[in-house]
Amino acid sequence: MEEGDRKLKKNTGFISSIFGGGGSGVSDAIECYISAANYYKLVFCWETFIRVAELHEKHSDSKFDAGQNFTEAGVCFRKVDFIKATDCYQKAADIYVDMGKFTMAAKAYVAKAEVCESTLSGNIPEERNIANVLPKEKCKDMCLNSYLKAADFYKGEEQKSSASKCLVKVGLLAAELEQYQRAMHIFEEIAIYESENNMLKYASRGHFFQALLCALCYDSLEAERALKRYTEISPIFKDSDEFKLITKLMNSVKAGDPDGFTAAVEEKDKVARFDTWHTSILLKIKRSCGDGGEVKAGGSGDAEEDDDLR
């Protein structure tokens, strides 16, 4: 580090500042910083990667290296400081966008979103002693927006499969944020894309189902219209277990029949258990049938939500 500082200072004299000379001095300094960064990586001290990235960023011919070093810094900071990690990935993404490298920008946004997901899931190993964790109230919005930006860049590069994976995350998060109409349209977009692809058409059934669950959360009439539309788009969906279940659920909502709703859920759950996301949204819809039950507070929240759903 000290050697790099000395080489950099030699390059910042009066004449160099006027004529832009001494480029080799900057290059030598960068090499020293990289060596230091790789050493510090072994002893869990990663600030030097940011220093290297900032030096590269100041030189137009080194922007790609700047993006790579901000990415490397992000990888390292994921282990100790989530806020610095997201900042590094954002800087990398901005550089890649400026360079027109949109696939790399998308990957940086995905990495940023994954940092947010680690916070939301509480998936933080105790031995890592994370110093700076994102506030959860801010985390879902940042995660959603990062996946959405990644999806947009992947779409622009005609990488539809990668875009679809990001959009699934956006749909799940939008529903958790109670943005049900937005989530419905996102799942619909994914399902229509999958239904038009012979390799993916069977996966569309689950996403049509998720779209309809989201629709039921804000407008049962919209859900009915969407169901009719989806069966016209996808014959496979019309013949699926998901179609049979959503039809039963919609009939129960229309009739104000929480017992019928519960029976339909239990029947399906015996075959394949619902995950936390489905359980939460099904419970919300059940309440619209007139059940009125509250989710009990306690340590095993997911299990207790299951109990209220059944």
Look up the pTM and report it. Answer: 0.80
pLDDT in tens, 28-49: 555 654 554 454 444 345 576 6
* DSSP per-residue codes, 186-203: HHHHHHHHHHTSTTTTTT
From residue 185, how far is each of 161, 166, 182, 274 by CA, in Å? 18, 14, 5, 22
Contact 203, 210 (CB under 8 A): no
Helix residue ranges, H only, the chain: 2-10, 14-19, 23-42, 47-57, 63-77, 82-99, 102-121, 136-156, 160-176, 180-195, 204-216, 220-233, 235-238, 241-255, 258-271, 276-287, 301-309
* DSSP per-residue codes, 221-249: HHHHHHHHHHHHH-HHHHTSHHHHHHHHH
CATH architecture, range 178-310: Alpha Horseshoe (1.25)
pLDDT of 127 reads 45
Which position has the higher pLDDT, 60 or 74? Answer: 74
pLDDT of 123 reads 63
pLDDT of 225 reads 98
The three-state secondary structure class of 81 is strand
The Cα 271–Cα 285 span in angstroms is 21
Contact 236, 204 (CB under 8 A): yes
pLDDT in tens, 233-271: 999 999 999 999 999 999 999 999 999 999 999 999 999
User: Token digits for 291?
Assistant: 């059940």
| CA 50 centroid distance within chain | 24
pLDDT at 135 over 90: no
The burial of 179, by beta-carbon neighbours within 10 Å (0-12 exposed, 13-18 middle, 19 or more buried), is given as middle
pLDDT at 67 over 50: yes
Could you tell me the residue ranges of all domains in the chain? 178-310
Q: What is the rounded average pLDDT for all residues in the chain?
A: 82
